[in-house]
Each structure stands twice: as C-alpha cells, then as structure tokens.
Amino acid sequence: MSVNTFGRIFRFTTWGESHGPALGAVVDGCPPGLAISEADLQPYLDARRPGQSKYTTQRNEPDHVKILSGTFEGRTTGTPISLMIENTDQRSKDYSEVALAYRPGHADYAYDAKYGFRDYRGGGRSSARETAARVAAGGVARLVIPEVEILAYVSEIGGDAIDPAKFDEREIARNPFFCPDAEAAKRWEKIVDGARLSGSSVGAVVECVAAGVPAGWGAPLYGKLDADLAAAMMGINAVKGVEIGDGFAAARLTGEQNADPMRPGARGPDFTANHAGGIAGGISTGQPVVVRVAFKPTSSILTPQPTVTKDGEATEMFTKGRHDPCVGIRGAPVVEAMMALVLADHKLLHRGQCG
Amino acid sequence: MSVNTFGRIFRFTTWGESHGPALGAVVDGCPPGLAISEADLQPYLDARRPGQSKYTTQRNEPDHVKILSGTFEGRTTGTPISLMIENTDQRSKDYSEVALAYRPGHADYAYDAKYGFRDYRGGGRSSARETAARVAAGGVARLVIPEVEILAYVSEIGGDAIDPAKFDEREIARNPFFCPDAEAAKRWEKIVDGARLSGSSVGAVVECVAAGVPAGWGAPLYGKLDADLAAAMMGINAVKGVEIGDGFAAARLTGEQNADPMRPGARGPDFTANHAGGIAGGISTGQPVVVRVAFKPTSSILTPQPTVTKDGEATEMFTKGRHDPCVGIRGAPVVEAMMALVLADHKLLHRGQCG
Amino acid sequence: MSVNTFGRIFRFTTWGESHGPALGAVVDGCPPGLAISEADLQPYLDARRPGQSKYTTQRNEPDHVKILSGTFEGRTTGTPISLMIENTDQRSKDYSEVALAYRPGHADYAYDAKYGFRDYRGGGRSSARETAARVAAGGVARLVIPEVEILAYVSEIGGDAIDPAKFDEREIARNPFFCPDAEAAKRWEKIVDGARLSGSSVGAVVECVAAGVPAGWGAPLYGKLDADLAAAMMGINAVKGVEIGDGFAAARLTGEQNADPMRPGARGPDFTANHAGGIAGGISTGQPVVVRVAFKPTSSILTPQPTVTKDGEATEMFTKGRHDPCVGIRGAPVVEAMMALVLADHKLLHRGQCG
Amino acid sequence: MSVNTFGRIFRFTTWGESHGPALGAVVDGCPPGLAISEADLQPYLDARRPGQSKYTTQRNEPDHVKILSGTFEGRTTGTPISLMIENTDQRSKDYSEVALAYRPGHADYAYDAKYGFRDYRGGGRSSARETAARVAAGGVARLVIPEVEILAYVSEIGGDAIDPAKFDEREIARNPFFCPDAEAAKRWEKIVDGARLSGSSVGAVVECVAAGVPAGWGAPLYGKLDADLAAAMMGINAVKGVEIGDGFAAARLTGEQNADPMRPGARGPDFTANHAGGIAGGISTGQPVVVRVAFKPTSSILTPQPTVTKDGEATEMFTKGRHDPCVGIRGAPVVEAMMALVLADHKLLHRGQCG
C-alpha cells in the first residue's frame, strides 16, 4: 500500500514539502454528483491557516486551494480530485543550521537515518504544513457525509483543562484557541503567550465529536472504525496519544461504571451513557463518536539543547525560525479533517459490503 | 484493502469465530529460509491461553497451533503460512439469552446494525478468542526481527499502578498478571479476585517496550510507525486508548521538559531521554519503542444492566458465561504480538524502498 | 498489498501446496445474509476435479470443501469465510529427481532464484492444484452476483477450434473437454489421447462469457474491469494470453468494422455488435463480458529435455509423475471462477462509490 | 485500494482530464538518493507527444513536465514525487454534440451509466491524454531499474506485420511509427495515411522487450509478474489483448515445441529458447521479458454510426475533433512506461520480502 495514501475506498494521497513550490492532495473514490467548489473547501483551510494571531506561527500563507481535476460543472465526477495549495511565504534562509545538525524532538535525525539525506528546509516533508493538504481533502470528505456533524475543540493546554460545565459550542469560534470555555480561553492567553515570550512551548489536548454517525459503520477486525481513527490521529504531526470515549480513564472504572445501558428508542436503542465513545467491536453504535488526541509541546524552542551534527559531533541547537508556541491549537481543524476522512471512507466501505 | 488483513508487505489475515470448529491466520509475505516449527509459536499461545489461573476465564482451550502451509523441511518458503487452532471447549448452551437481546458494552447491537444478524455464540467473530490467531501470527513475525526484543507487561490494574522503582523484568513470568512489580502483583490478587467474586470487572493498562529497533523504520506520512502501532493496538478487543512514549503526559510538558537531547554515541546519537517513545516523524530513532495501551473493564458482569431486545423491547441482562474479570491481563501477549507484527512489516517495507 | 490476495472489497487469500496437508482460501468482504452451504460450492470443485477421465491427470482427489468460518445458520455473516480442502492423494516419492534439477517450462528454477530453495513435491505452491482454492472462492463469489450467468468452455485444443455455427451450450457438460461443439469434441479425443499416449501435451484456448452484467461496473483508471480480468486470467497457471472481446483480431479491423453501434433499447441502449466484449473505458456496457484465455501445453512431457541441476551441471529431464496432457481443459472452471471473483468485487466496489 | 493508483511499493496515482487545467501523477515509494531532473523525464513525454507527424492527432501539446515535490538538490528524497503537465491546446467547442449522445466505441455511455454524468470534453478522464501522466511516472520508474533496458516498438499496423528478419533497433527512432523494419514503415505510411484521408482508423500491435531483468522478480500467486503486466497493459486506452512470450501461439504448440531448455551458463542457466517470455510461475527467469499488446482501431471515425442520445433517442454520430488514425502508434511509449512501472515495483517488492 502506498505510504502517502490513506483510506480504502474514499482515499487521499498527499504530496509536497514545506518549502517546495506547492503541496496537494489527490482524493480518489469520491462519489459522483456531489456539488463542490473551491469555496466549499477554503473555510477549513482558513481555520487551519497560520499567522492569524500571535498564538500561532507568523508564517503567513494564504493557503488558497485550487481544484485541478475531478469536477465538472460544479459537481464531482467520480474521478480523482486533485487539490493544490501553493507555498508563498517560504524563507529558506532560516534553515541553514538545520542542514548540519539534528534538532532534538524533530524528525531530522530519523529522516537522515531512513533516507540518507533530507530536505531540511522548514522540516521538508515532515513539516506540519503538510496538514493543509489533509484539511483540503477533509473538506471533500465532509461532502460525502452530510448526515454527520463534526466538531473539534481544544480541551486542554499546558495541563489546564476546560470546565465541562462551561462548555459552549459558540465560544469555539470566538477565541484563537478553538476553546469552548470562555474562561479557559482567557487563562490560555497567558499560558500560550508566556510560552511564546520565553521561547518555550506547551502541549494541548484536542477533543473531537462526530454526531449523526449511524450504527453500522466500521469494518472488523483489521479495519475497525476506532483502529482507523487511531491511525488517522496518531499520524498527525506532534500527536502522542489517542483515546476513544473514556480512553485511559476507562481502565480505572469497574464494569458497572463503564457500562452503556440501553433503553428502547425511536430509531434503535437509546444509550444512557457513552463511555464507549460511540464504537463497539470496531463498529459505530449510533452514539456520537468521541476521540481525544494529545499533542506534545512544539519541539522548536529557543532554549539551546545538546545534540549532534550530521558528522556525529556534539553541539547545541535552538530553533530560530517561525513556529507555533502550541502546535496543538491548529491541530483542531486537522483532527476534524481526519475524522471526516475516516468516516467518509467507512460510509462507502459499509455500503459496498452491506448494500 | 481486506478488512480482516493487517500489514503491507508482511501481512496476516485472520478468520474464525468463538464457537466455530477452528480459527486461524494466514501470514503472507514472510521472508524465505527462516527456521520455523510449531514449537516456536506455541509458547506465545500458551502465554495467552485462558484457564491457567482463577484470574482469567475458565474456558479451557489447549490452543495447539498447526502449520498447514508455507514451510518445507523446517524453514519458511516465502509462500503463505496457514496457521490453525481448533476450538475444543465451546459451550454454546450458555448463550441462548444473548441471541435475543443486546449485552451492554458488547458488540452485539453494533454487529446486528451492520450485518442484519450475528453469530451470537460466545461473541462470534467479536470474541477476544480471535486474538489467539494474532498471537500465532506474531510468533512468525518475531522470526523476521531477531534483532528486536519485545516485552509487554501490565502496569496498572483497576487504577493501581506498579512502582517503576520496583520494576523487575524477571517478576513478569512469576505471577498470573504479567506484572513486573512483585508487590503490585500481590495487591492485584485482591483487586482481581474481588472483582471476580462480586461478578464485577476491572480495567488495566499494558505497556510494551521493543528494544533493538534500528533507526529508520517507519513510512511517513500515512504509514507512520506510530500510526500503524496505534491502529494495531486500538484494534485489540477492549482497547480504548493508545500512547506512544509519554503520550497524554507529553501534552502537559513544556518543550524543554519534553526534549530528547542527543550526544555522540557509538552507533548514531545517544539520546539522554526518551519522551518520544523511540519514534520521531513516524520513523524509529533507534531508541526503544514504547507503547501504552488502555483496556476497559470486561463488559461481561453479573450485575443486571438495562438493555433492549432484538425487537426493541426493554429488558435487563447480565452475563452467565465464563469470562475474564480483567481482560487486560491476557492482553499483554496480544500487545506483544501486535508490536512484532507491525515491526516485521516495517522492516521489510523499509528494506523494499531503501534497500 | 498481500501478494496471495486478490480483490479490493470482495477479496480472497489462498494458501497451500500440492503436497501439504491441505489448501484453502479465506474470502473476505462477502456481503452478509447470503444463503450458503458446502453443497453450493462442491459442484464447482467437482467440475475442476482431476481423475475423471483419461484426458486429465490421474491424481485422484475428492476435493471436498469445508467451510470453517464466516457462516451461521446457513447464511454468510459478513466475516471471513475460511474454506479448506484436504490433500489426500499425494505421492511424494515421484518427485525425488525434481529436487535436484530444474524442469524446463516449470517454475522450478524461478522459485529457487527468488526464494533460495523450494518445496519441490508436486510443484509445491506453483502447482495447478492451488486453483482448487480459487474455484471454491469463486463459488462464494457467484452467490454475490445472482444477476450474472457465467459460462466458460474450451474453444480450441492443439490449434483445432470449434465451429461457432455448431455451438450448443448443452454440449459443454456432455464431453470431458467442456466443448460446446460435439464434432470438435470428437476430434479432440484423438488429439488429447494422442498427446497422452506419446507423452506429449497440447495447448488450449478457453472462452468465457458473463451475461447479465449491468452497465457501470469497473473502476477507471487503474482498477478497470478489463485490466482486473486480465490480471485474474493471466495469473492462472499456464496462461500466456488474454483477450477482451475481439482481442488481437480487433487490431486488424478498421474503425468502421470494429464499431459497436447502438439503438434505443428497453433498458439503456441495445448494441448491434459486441467487438468490445462488453467493456468500454474499463467499465461494463451491459453487453455480455467476453474473455478469451490461452493456455500453453502442459510443460510436463515424457521427452527428455536438456536442463541444468541445482549445482549448474548439464543434465536431461522428463516428467514421471501424473499430469494433464492438456492443462487448459481443467482451466475452464478456473476461468469461470476468476470471472466470478472479479465481477463480485466490482459489483461491491461500484456500490461503495456510487451507491 | 485506490482505483487510480497502480503498484504495491513503487506506486503512482494519476489525476486529470483531457480539458482540465492540467493532469499529473504522484509517484510514491521511490527509493531515495536517485539523481533526477525534469530533463530525465521529458524525452519520454516527447516521444508520446501528439502533433509530431500527420499520422497522429493534430492536437499540439508541449507536454512539459514539472516536478513539484519529492526531490532535493537533484535527488529523490523518498517522499512523494508530484509530476504535473499543463493542458494548453484544449478546444472545448469541438465537443458540443458529444454532450448529448454516445459515440460508439467510446466510453461515453459506460461513464454515464456508472457516474450519472460525465465530463464530455475531449473524453474527459477516459481520454488517452491521461497516458502522458503514466509516461512521466514511467520516467521515474526507469531510474529505479538502471539494470533493465526496455524497448517497445510497433510490430503490426492494420494487419500488416513487420518482418522479423528485417528487425533493426535503430530504425525505431527513424520513422513516425516506432517501427523497427524500414520497409514495413514505408508500407505503413500508406495504410495510416489512407485511413486518415478516408476518415477511418486502423489498429496496431505493440511489442515490448525488457532485457536485463534478473531472475527472481515477481510475487506469486496474486502478484505474479505476468499478471501485473497484463493488468498494466490491458488498462491502457484502446488495448484489447495482452500476450506474454508466445501468447496465443503457445496454445497451438506441443509441449516439446514450447519447451525452453536450459544449459549451464555464466550466471545461472542459459535458456536456448524463450517461448515463456522470460516469466515462469509468475517469476522472472532472467531471460528478456516479452509482452505483446493489441490496440483496437481508434473509435473516432468520420463515418456516421447509429447510436442513441442521452435521452434514449436514435441518432447518428461521427467524430469531428482531432484524433489519431492509429492510436496504437503512440501506444509504444506508453507500453514502455507501464513495463518500467511494473518492473520497478517488483524489484522493490522482491527486495522487501527476500532481502
């Protein structure tokens, strides 16, 4: 299987590096006849776009997405949809040191160990800039699953979590942190700005809920809905943990506490709890699908760290380029996109096998 | 991609239900010329086998694995290796109620929603019994990666964690919990036995460390080593969370705290920390690969729970069959197997692309 | 992708060698709820089974197929269907010479070159005996496409072709050659028996027609229906050529001669010719799908041929074991099975993408 | 599997329509460190490029290929290589009639039957223009297999075949037909020009030989080298037949005639014949790999043909746009590209499994 491709029936392949002329995604297997235009995709890219506040990297990219194929007279044709985003604000001069030594926490050394050399400009292929291509592809995926509503938000930054009692969906768009708790957003301003000013960085947790997923999506045993979501999320830059439903907390509950009892409902059973996060046996249950994703603190910091050069000599490095003090913030639109991409694929896969 | 198949070059396909005549795995893409016999695989199955203590299900299966193809004169031939394990201790009479109503926390309802009906005997395909096939396949995978040493152990049961200061690898085989901390193992006897006697269940966390993985395995961006591990682990029955390295704890660190500095080493850099769990940018760094896996408490409990019948009527259910009070315990050999299967595949994939 | 697996949604994986204990297929992605029993599959295996006349190998195998998983109460459950056929008439003593030298025209040398050694008993994995597993899997595929009627027959043996004017479908089951022309069948008795008595062998052409395939199956551009059929057929043992519709003859026609004009029909257009063999642009047109497959003469002959030993010494070999004087005859049921397997997969793939 | 993607480890995905802004290919899994530039790929595109003589379509495209990703400082990095070719000579006004009715022999009706509607401009996705993307990807594949020399030529046009005794490799580049026989090329001028002047078209046979393929490439049983080649070739526009080695002629030989005897050679056995076309049991034998491909006559002709409109009414159509009188001619570079793509993939796949 192609290692830069994700999905089974609804699939996408991404390409491009941080400082190349462009990056893009080819979306294959999309159902025909769906109304689509660049304007349908651009809002998702705008949400992920950097340079919109002082809390994210100052690299300023318009991230305009172009559709190069796969549509005709405003509708998808069922053929591959090629999406391209041009890179416009590369500053390759920032990266000369990176060519010679390995930044701790970055993929520099691992890429060299694997491939023998690397495009070191802005992280090359390992740059989080690639997630723009996923977000564009995710915009197409959403058209495939109009029955599903996906919402991701940051639930924790630097160890400071939102108060579930203060959850207000409308807040998410009102602050630069995708935060549903207005008070937490206020606190986070200080946390993130503090990290930014001191040249440090902080981690974050993103939570994503997909409502409207019907029961029956998922393909046991090695295409389970939760396993595919885990792969989708763990593959996002800087992610180190994934939970479905109660996740690790479930390991501390008893069977009684963790049960999701059912009672008769209008369409199928009504569940009186959702510890399972909407998935049982790898198949959706009709409850909201709930995923939680841990982002490590940005590895690029101003404090020098011991490291080695390409030639194996000891040295120290700190990062001079433009970077996010909390890469998890802009992770929220990426998590949403990956959720959409997994669900679109499973909708089609289920339809294929089960009619 | 076939949904009951896992892997890219080194792949395995499993089949079989809890109460069918047998279950098995077909391992494809195995390198030729590896010495192999059933005796090489049986110890892993024995470790996973139930009925060995009062802390696991009393279903008693010898779980003898047979090799039906793919070997000749004691060596792998490069052709598919068919592994079969016969079911011998099915007691289908236990499951009559399950045919008519949905057990909360189980996959019963989801399977019916997807497929229209299900093999309800012992959970059918969704039974954890299928993991025997993975463990057998994992035994083959280990032959492919002799350079790697894999060790999984239970690090937490019912919220009671081991003390890292008391970690002793030799203890793991000395207690029925795969516990590396002798004192914790003592405490767990009470926890698990208490759950068993009261008809309840508890969750667990399994940790797995793979030492000896060279730098360079992994295939960015949609075949990342950590993403494949996440899918592999999340796909195990009852798993709700996966972490690589520090996982969710990393989201609460600063960039300085989370850095893995390097200094010159004998073969490549020496890292002075391993927050990353041995993976950067989806590629192994040469450090031990560390994964942590959360198992929910067994859904089968004796306390009746509200649920619905196939016809949508309200009812109550509790589980009468034989079950594990803590399904996570026997998860340890399964986690080891999945680790081996992912690493074997990535070794071959890396060799294929990079020579 | 697993190299012993074929298909995209409806997939099968085969395993087993000529002289191992058994061989089998795991069918994955089958729709749930289809009525199935071993009796549904056995007739296809019986048609392919050797030892039924003096015109095929005298190896006598009952080829009883067992269903080990994936069904419940007589219906498919949507989980993997494991099919197993035991080997009962192996005579390994026949093959001692084959261990030391390479039979011309066989895969012996190629397997050694690839894998370093081989299971030489009866051809091991490269034996045409493996096609029994395909035929069993094909029996499942037929259940997925009840709207399609598939018919394969031998249209030419040893260069002697049937007379299309004498085509009678009912004749196919009345002679040991799957021949639809009674007079040709008479002639072929002499041709095949002559080859058998002189220790020689002859080739054959098998034609396969699938009627009832609706317009719209196939997945351009790299999953075209004709490309998948070409792979399916060329992968059968001893096949050296595949044609769709007029095939090579089309290369000798003008555009006018090769046109398939349309006129208004009851359901979609009626075509007044079918040079295209029912496929345009990789997609079915609603006309019968027509494939023609060339089988080379059996490589096992009694005339000694110059060859080399494993150690590179010159020697001569002829085949002593039991073999088909015309392997193409028993190819007919295999071609039918591969047609069914490709069509079932494309039906589900089309439904997945296009609803 | 993605239906617009071909290959297993070395894979490519194409996108684009005849009259969209551009078309392209994303090549994934390419080994790192290979020297590459656009100038390495352009000659192959130039060979396929239309408008170079009166014997091919007069659509005039420069077909300049751009590399957008996956290279750094003149070498492949191991990450996806995005190749783009802009469309510059579209004349969409030619295709208005095609929007309303189905051209016989074209994919028009099949696309509508599958997708509900289609991009009718220049054939949309089903246009042979897509083969430019394959040819570009094939240029990358060649860099992966420097040990292999690939040569395709037209061996027959309109039923008039070359004389093998007059085969001269140097002639291939000296005439507009990729013809290795100078006398045949002279004759073909009249055949093709006659077809062009009368608004008719003729078919062709392309032969392709790959020398230098070592023994051992290919992956039985469902990734056989010949099966993958068959899929690769049958998937090219207008192809209706594929042969390996002697192909259909082998079905008319006896076992003695068809044998490829061996004698001791410098490196492995020397074969004294190559009826098998360099492949046995799906694995290369070290002999030249020989494939023959039948192209039907171009479906676009000036003679009106009965057909139906989208609404099912009877009508007549002939083609007004610019077209090749013999589409098989420009098939030669495409066949070469597909050969390279299959071989590159199998080289890496073999290395992955067998080291």
Cβ–Cβ gap D2/A117 under 8 Å: no
CA distance A336 to A349: 20
pLDDT band at D1 (very low <50, low <70, confident <90, very high): very low
State whether the Cα torsion A91-A94-A96-A99 is positive or negative: negative
Residue C292, token pair as written in the block: 């023609």
Q: What is the reported pTM?
A: 0.97
Q: Which H helix or E strand runs over A271?
A: strand A269-271
Q: Quick one: closest CA in B to C81, which residue?
A: B15
Low-confidence ranges of chain C (pLDDT < 70): 1-2, 51, 58-59, 90-94, 321-322
Residues 15-34 on C with a CB inside 8 Å of A are: 29-32
Interface contact C351, partner A, CB < 8 A: yes
Cα distance from C45 to chain D (closest Cα, Å)? 19
Q: Which H helix or E strand runs over B160?
A: strand B160-161
Interface contact C220, partner A, CB < 8 A: yes
CA distance D286 to C349: 37
Interface contact A3, partner B, CB < 8 A: yes
ipTM above 0.85, yes or no: yes
Residues 101-130 on A with a CB inside 8 Å of D are: 114-119, 124-125
Q: Quick one: closest CA in A to C220, which residue?
A: A79
Cα distance from C151 to chain B (closest Cα, Å)? 28
Q: Quick one: closest CA in D to C115, which residue?
A: D354
CA nearest to D333, candidates D52, D110, D5: D52
Cα distance from C64 to chain D (closest Cα, Å)? 22
φ and ψ at residue B37, rounded to 5 degrees: -150, 170
D169-205 burial, b at 16+ Cβ within 10 Å, e below that, comes to eebbeebbbbbbbeebbebbbebbeebbeebbbbbbb
Q: Write out chain C residues lying below 8 Å of B17, CB-based.
A: 69-70, 72, 79
Q: Considering CB atoms only, which of C1, C31, C355 is closest to A31?
A: C355
Interface contact D316, partner A, CB < 8 A: no
Q: Which chains touch D (3 or more CB pairs under 8 A)?
A: A, B, C
Task: Give B306's strand partners.
Answer: B316
pLDDT tens digits for range C262-307 = 999 988 899 999 999 999 999 999 999 999 999 999 998 999 999 9
Q: Considering CB atoms only, which of B116, B195, B230 is closest to A231?
A: B230
Q: At what angle do helices A331-354 and A131-144 cross, to 10 degrees?
A: 40
Neighbours of A147 (CB within 10 A): 11
Does the structure show a pLDDT above 60 at D92?
Answer: no
Interface contact C136, partner B, CB < 8 A: no
Provide the strand spans (E) within A89-230: 149-157, 160-161, 204-211
Cβ–Cβ gap B281/A215 under 8 Å: no
CA distance B201 to B193: 9
Q: Considering CB atoms only, which of B78, B348, B355 is closest to D31?
A: B355
DSSP string, C85-104: EE-----GGGGTGGGTBPPT
Residue B41 · residue B105 · CB < 8 Å: no
Q: Considering CB atoms only, which of B30, B78, B352 is closest to D351?
A: B352
- Tell me how many residue pairs between chain B and chain C have CB atoms under 8 A apart: 143
Half-sphere exposure of B158 (CA within 13 A, CB side): 21
Q: Which chains touch C (3 or more CB pairs under 8 A)?
A: A, B, D
Cβ–Cβ gap B72/C115 under 8 Å: no
The whole-number pLDDT of residue D52 equals 75
Query: Over its length of 355 residues, how does chain B's per-residue pLDDT go in tens digits?
Result: 469 999 999 999 999 999 999 999 999 999 999 999 999 999 999 998 876 777 777 667 789 999 999 999 999 999 999 999 999 876 656 677 889 999 999 999 999 999 999 999 989 999 999 999 999 999 999 999 999 999 999 999 999 999 999 999 999 999 999 999 999 999 999 999 999 999 999 999 999 999 999 999 999 999 999 999 999 999 999 999 999 999 999 999 999 999 999 999 988 899 999 999 999 999 999 999 999 999 999 998 999 999 999 999 999 998 776 678 999 999 999 999 999 999 999 999 999 999 9
Cβ–Cβ gap B78/D351 under 8 Å: no
Interface contact D86, partner A, CB < 8 A: no
Residue C181 · residue C175 · CB < 8 Å: no
Cβ–Cβ gap C256/D200 under 8 Å: yes
CA distance D238 to D58: 19
Q: Quick one: closest CA in D to B3, which residue?
A: D1
Q: Quick one: closest CA in C to D231, which residue?
A: C227
Q: Quick one: closest CA in B to A299, which residue?
A: B255
Query: Over its length of 355 residues, how does chain A's per-residue pLDDT go in tens digits?
Result: 469 999 999 999 999 999 999 999 999 999 999 999 999 999 999 998 876 777 777 667 789 999 999 999 999 999 999 999 999 876 656 677 889 999 999 999 999 999 999 999 989 999 999 999 999 999 999 999 999 999 999 999 999 999 999 999 999 999 999 999 999 999 999 999 999 999 999 999 999 999 999 999 999 999 999 999 999 999 999 999 999 999 999 999 999 999 999 999 988 899 999 999 999 999 999 999 999 999 999 998 999 999 999 999 999 998 776 678 999 999 999 999 999 999 999 999 999 999 9
The whole-number pLDDT of residue C322 equals 65
Q: Write out chain D residues lying below 8 Å of C219, CB-based.
A: 3
Q: Quick one: closest CA in D to A8, which residue?
A: D1
